[in-house]
Amino acid sequence: MATSANEKIEMACVEAREKLAQLGIEEKIQAELDWVLGSFRNDQNSSGLYEIGAKALKALVKYKKDKPKAVTKKMIDELEKALKTK
């Protein structure tokens, strides 16, 4: 079964949220991701996921520059791909 654009962005945002928490960075973005994920699950409107997902991507890319092994290229690629499905 093919994964819809909404499912892709939701999964990518969940993974980004988990990685940010694991790294102990960007608490504000973590909270925003929590909020938009909850909102999406209630109304299926994915616009917030794309907006905050883009913020998470920037934070993860920035962190990866300093600590390349902390964030995988696959995670960055998956989040970028999901953001392009809008």
Angle of helix 27-43 relative to helix 5-23, nearest 10 degrees, comes to 150
pLDDT at 86: 84
With beta carbons less than 8 A apart as the criterion, state whether 60 and 76 touch: yes
Other Cβ atoms less than 10 A from the Cβ of 41: the count is: 9
Q: Which residue has the tokens 């925003």?
A: 32
pTM: 0.93
Q: Which helix (H) or strand (E) holds 6?
A: helix 5-23
Average pLDDT per block of 10 residues along the chain, 86 residues long = 84 97 97 97 95 98 95 96 92
Tell me the C-alpha distance between 28 and 45, whole Å.
Answer: 21
Name the residue ranges covered by the structural domains of the chain: 5-83
